[in-house]
Amino acid sequence: MKRWIAGLVVVAALAAAAVFGMRMMAQPPEELDLARDKPSANQLYRVSIQPELDPPAIGTLHNWIVTVLLSDGEPVVDAKISVAGGMPQHGHGLPTAPQVTKQLGEGRYLVEGVRFNMGGWWELKFTIDASAGSDNVTFNLTF
Amino acid sequence: MQAIAQLRLSQLAPLKPDPSNRFADDPAAAALGEALFFDTRLSRDGTVACATCHLPDRQFQDDLPRGHGIGVSDRRTMPLAGVAHGQWFFWDGRSDSPWAQALTPIEDPREHGFTRAAVAAVIAEAYREQYEAVFGPVPDVEVHGASPLGNEEEQAAWKALGPEEQEAVNIVFANAGKALAAFQRTIAHEETRFDRYAEAIVSGREPVAGDAFNSLEIEGLKLFIGKAGCINCHNGPRFTDDFFHNTGVLTPEGLPVNRGRIDAIDEVLADPFNCLGKYSDASPDDCRELRFIARDDAALVGAFKTPSLRGAASRAPYMHAGQFSTLGEVIDHYSTAPAAPVGTSEIGPVAFTDRGRAALIAFLKTLD
């Protein structure tokens, strides 16, 4: 009986391992929303992103422009924006810590220091703090 | 096909200028650097040069689990071809340029065990003309065994020097690193059978007889870019993403558990020879890697740099402290994916058949 239970535990562990093992090679979910223009989570802002290089070259440090508007289309100036991200299927973040370094006017902000060091599904997350309140938005990117 | 195309050596961009080292592409600096690289006078007992561990006829590495200088270091000696394409140096990236990197082993008691004041003295004595032609006057330093990182006596001698002499020594020391880096920039990857095969198939040509892959090598390549997931980190023409990953490699017996990248971040930020430091030729805006350094990702705990796989098949042992003596052991590690000694391993187990194992090794040999 004991041996039987031990065998079952091994089988369960192997099954779990097989699933875990597939994480690294997993394809991005089929229904992934790849929009580069979308409302923030609580609909406070309309946010769009544009890379300096399109598509960004893997391994190259580059910039993005993020544009923040109110839902009526009014540009949001003087927003405090922080940037994060990573690979949900790999459990690691971005290889750099990108920052908003400049306001470019009309709700546009320069994001410097972005690098994607491998192909696959990446998330780029922005937390936006401005007069309408604090909100966040997550973009999916695949390379 | 795109996955294969990106791995060709022809896709490697020309080496970018190093704004922190304005002598990086100066042939006279490289010639001086080459001489310094082989000079055993740059060591405590006159027996250790950079080339003691970075052997030119062995891909500039030493085939040992850990480097042997005056003592034994904690880390596997890295090969040098193409390293200047990366952003971070050492297995944990605790230097941000090849010239800052080159300075550290010189003062490490287990490697050269030397001091920066003694480096300045050797340069004044043996390389005055060559040095002055590139960098300007060599200061006369009376005290030889002086360094802020040395033993008690050397640190006391360093303090006794006073700020002006310390500064003069630091400048010569930094320039020695810049010359060594200029030499190392000339060490490039060479085209392999993989590159010739990939060029042919990407352009729709039949590979010429000696370059064609056999079925085992093709299977290995498919595993590499597919099911085995190797290409996630070993991507691009150098087969590395130049970043840090925890792959759960065990700490060698007798060594303390090492937290890798996460502990190196403060070190590189505090390094007086980094891109933002006073010995750097870069403007702060040029120091983009330091400005945008990732600092607090839990994935960096226990993470070490992805090595290039070019030439790897003929340079065992493997991993940051030479933990595995064969490629078979490396593949065993990836197939079992043990829990990491510190932090969380990023890898999950991959089931390999015996043929898959052999195929992956056969493919890696085409990168030699």
| H-helix segments, B83-162 | 98-107, 116-126, 128-135, 152-161
* Record: contact B351-A24, CB cut-off 8 A: no
A56: nearest Cα among A114, A4, A97, A106: A114
Q: How far is B47 from chain A (nearest CA, A)?
A: 39
* A111/A105 Cα distance (integer angstroms): 13
Residue A5 confidence class, pLDDT cut points 50, 70, 90: very low
Please give the CATH number for the structural domain made up of B19-184: 1.10.760.10
Residue B60 is classified by DSSP as: T
Partners of A128 in the β-ladder? A81, A135
* Record: contact A59-B349, CB cut-off 8 A: no
**Per-residue pLDDT for A2 more than 60?**
no
**Given this chain, do its domains B2-7+190-256+301-365 and B19-184 carry the same CATH topology?**
yes
In this structure, what token pair is assigned to residue A110? Answer: 């320069």
In this structure, what token pair is assigned to residue B200? Answer: 């042919």
**pLDDT number for residue B130:** 98
At B46-89, the pLDDT tens digits run 999 999 999 999 999 999 999 999 999 999 999 999 999 999 99
At B174-205, the pLDDT tens digits run 999 999 999 999 999 999 999 999 999 999 99
Q: How far are the Cα atoms of A49, A94, B76, B198, B229 from residue A59, in angstroms, in the given order?
A: 19, 11, 25, 21, 17
Among left, alpha and beta (phi > 0; psi -120 to 50; other), residue A38 is beta
Q: Where are the domains of chain B?
A: 2-7+190-256+301-365, 19-184
Please give the CATH number for the structural domain made up of B2-7+190-256+301-365: 1.10.760.10
pLDDT tens per residue, chain B (368 residues)?
889 999 999 999 999 999 999 999 999 999 999 999 999 999 999 999 999 999 999 999 999 999 999 999 999 999 999 999 999 999 999 999 999 999 999 999 999 999 999 999 999 999 999 999 999 999 988 888 999 999 999 999 999 999 999 999 999 999 999 999 999 999 999 999 999 999 999 999 999 999 999 999 999 999 999 999 999 999 999 999 999 999 999 999 899 999 999 999 999 999 999 999 999 999 999 999 999 999 989 999 999 999 999 999 999 999 999 999 999 999 999 999 999 999 999 999 999 999 999 999 999 999 99
Find which of B292, B301, B350 to mutate to test the A interface (most A CBs within 10 Å of its CB): B292
Q: What is the ipTM of this complex?
A: 0.93
B35 touches chain A (CB under 8 A): no
* B37/B101 Cα distance (integer angstroms): 13
**Residues sharing a CB contact under 8 Å with residue B138, sequence separation 6 or more, in sequence order:** B120, B123, B124, B128, B131, B132, B172
Q: Where are the domains of chain A?
A: 37-142
A24 closest CB neighbour out of B6, B232, B294: B232
**pLDDT number for residue B356:** 97
User: Which residues numbered 26-55 in A keep a CB inside 8 Å of some CB on B?
Assistant: none
* B233/B240 Cα distance (integer angstroms): 6
* B253/B172 Cα distance (integer angstroms): 39
Whether B349 contacts B248, CB under 8 Å:
no
| H-helix segments, chain A | 2-25
Please give the CATH number for the structural domain made up of A37-142: 2.60.40.1080
* A7/A1 Cα distance (integer angstroms): 10
Residue A7 confidence class, pLDDT cut points 50, 70, 90: very low
* B91/B81 Cα distance (integer angstroms): 15
